[in-house]
Amino acid sequence: MTHLFIADLHLSPDHPRLVRGFLDLLQQYKNENTQLYILGDWFNAWIGDDYSAPWLDEIVNALKQFTNAGNQVFFLVGNRDFALGQKFLNQFNGKLLPDEFTLNIANKKFRIEHGDALCTDDVSYQRFKKIIRNPILLGILKSMPLSFRQKLANGFRKKSRESQQNKSYDIMDVNAQAVEKALSDVDVLIHGHTHRPEIHNEFNKTRIVLGDWRERTSEAIILAVNDDGEWQSIQWMIE
């Protein structure tokens, strides 16, 4: 069995090559008894599980073929697609995981998460996240018309870009104390979010940062773990 970990695809109709890269990935691993873990920011924005479009239907159909072949899909939310729920995943028998999840592979504990919770130095973002992820507010947002949610998502993306331009490189990276806490009772921490792919040895443990999917360089850094708990960083090329 292959345990495949990806993050930060930021799929949208505006970037069809990234969508094609994801469809190619599903095809590549369809016959390899794969457990696919998507660690957030799968989509550039998510306005609700009731949203549909031809480009998204193509993805759903490919995922149905993937799971019908005996593979599994797991997803935990990121900062861009935190509104994605089990209703969407039900279309292809996917499973929504909690924000932090621990896997046991060959007597090794792997903790997986999106990674934004580790960036505790970014105080303004953490404050915004606490507000926008409030279940009551999220429920209200999901009840709004799709057109309103689309405008709201566009506004969030614009605000995020402007905010990042005014923040230092270090503030938007993980905090050492947050990493130490996350690694305290596991062997390996896997996350995305920072767009800084690397394998770190910290606190006598391993932290693996997945890469974002880059249309400009036609690549992504993903991770495969076999049943023996051995991992391999893979440069996935986007055709």
User: Helix (H, G, I), strand (E, B), or coil: what is residue 73?
Assistant: strand
- Cα–Cα distances in angstroms (integers) from residue 110 to residues 61, 105, 190, 226, 229, in the given order: 30, 7, 7, 12, 9
Task: Return the structure tokens found at 163.
Answer: 């905010």
pLDDT in tens, 35-66: 999 999 999 999 899 999 999 999 999 999 99
The whole-number average pLDDT for the span 29-40 is 97
- Domains belonging to the chain, first-starting first, are 2-237 (3.60.21.10)
Give the pLDDT band (50/70/90) at residue 155: confident
pLDDT in tens, 95-120: 999 999 999 999 999 999 999 999 99
Number of H helices, E strands in the chain: 7, 11
Give the pLDDT band (50/70/90) at residue 132: confident
Closest C-alpha to 116, from 130, 106, 103, 105: 130
pLDDT in tens, 65-75: 999 999 999 99
- Cα–Cα distances in angstroms (integers) from residue 146 to residues 135, 151, 208, in the given order: 19, 9, 36
- Give, to the nearest 10 degrees, the angle between helix 146-165 and helix 135-142: 130
Q: Judge whether 9 and 45 are in contact, CB under 8 Å.
A: no
pLDDT at 177: 97
pLDDT at 138: 84
Closest C-alpha to 15, from 215, 193, 156: 215
